[in-house]
Amino acid sequence: MADAAHPDIPAHAGSAGEIEAVRHADGTSRTLAAALPRLVLDARRIAAGVIHGLHGRRRAGSGENFWQYRRFASGEPASRVDWRRSARDEHLYVREHEWEAAHTVWLWPDRSASMAFASSDKRDSKLERALIITFALAELLVDGGERVGIPGLMAPTASRNVIDRMAQAILHDGAPRLSLPPSFAPSALAEIVVLSDLWSESGAIAAMLAALSASGAHGTLVQVVDPAEETFPYAGRIAFIEPEGGGEITAGRAETWAADYVARVARHRDDIRAETSRRDWLLTIHRTDRPASELLLYLHAALGNGGPGARVAVRPMGRSA
């Protein structure tokens, strides 16, 4: 159950069988510096496994290659009309070209204390999974001709060694670990991917979406969760520790909290889903017991849809009630 001081943040169980997971959250078990080489290798392996057969992202813009015809919109200059194509129909059409100028995709992996949780030592922590996806997605995007950056940490780059640059930037970052991206002003063409457990207050998430959408940018929120945070598999006397300063609470019979916990998680997600829909963002939920490649393919497809009107065609994976 969530700590009373932080109603949207699930605390983590402190039973003897999961004490190692709590140590992950406290930073006393595995350090990020020790884990990074493995995460980089995993990211490269996953990216290599899906990169063949994937094509660069195509969208309308100022390139020279023909892409598609579309209906003429009121208010556009008449010089944009393709009169030859329009003569075959009762409507006016514009000849669109492929957008060849790379733009920026901002990736934000949440590295706050709650992300270090893993309910099993045989599974990636939320932090490890978020970083693997961030690195692998950056590799795919750069391979497709895009620029990739991390807000407040790494300027956009199209460098072929983007994973190494990201890893170094993260490794040497001495700033406080924020759950949500810092305030910045993305361009109207920018796309943003936030990978976080999203256990921040719903109001904070809504404010972040409003700020990032102000310029016209769009993006995807990925809620990265451990299976235990979905199913609440606890029984008996359990101490729950909120890893970001919310304290500790003990349940005498944890199983009696399950229904209320699941309902509160559903309400929290409904609040986030309402905000993402209003801002024309996507929301998907990724559990760490699912393959990382599944999320990677979804994100590549979502980013490749190109434009608000097409975003609804991509169905988020792992969506929970």
- Compare 138 and 49 and report the one with higher pLDDT: 138
Per-domain residue ranges for the chain?
12-57+101-311, 61-98
Which residues, other chains included, contact 19 with Cβ-Cβ below 8 Å and sequence gap of 6+? none
Residues 269-314 pLDDT 10s: 999 999 999 999 999 999 999 999 999 999 998 986 543 333 433 3
Taking Cα atoms as reference points, which of 29, 20, 10, 8 lies closest to residue 251?
10
Spell out where the chain has E strands. 12-13, 60-71, 93-98, 104-109, 147-150, 154-157, 191-196, 218-225, 238-242, 247-251, 282-287
Tell me how far apart the alpha carbons of residues 23 and 12 are, in angstroms, rounded to a whole number. 11
Tell me how far apart the alpha carbons of residues 96 and 145 are, in angstroms, rounded to a whole number. 20
Give the mean pLDDT of 61-83: 70
Whether the predicted pLDDT of 197 surpasses 50? yes
Q: What is the pLDDT of residue 225?
A: 97
- Compare 234 and 95 and report the one with higher pLDDT: 234
Taking Cα atoms as reference points, which of 55, 160, 148 lies closest to residue 109?
148
Q: CB–CB of 6/249 below 8 Å?
A: no
Q: CB–CB of 177/113 below 8 Å?
A: yes
Find the radius of gyration of the CA atoms of the chain.
22
Q: Which residues pair with 282 in a beta bridge?
A: 220
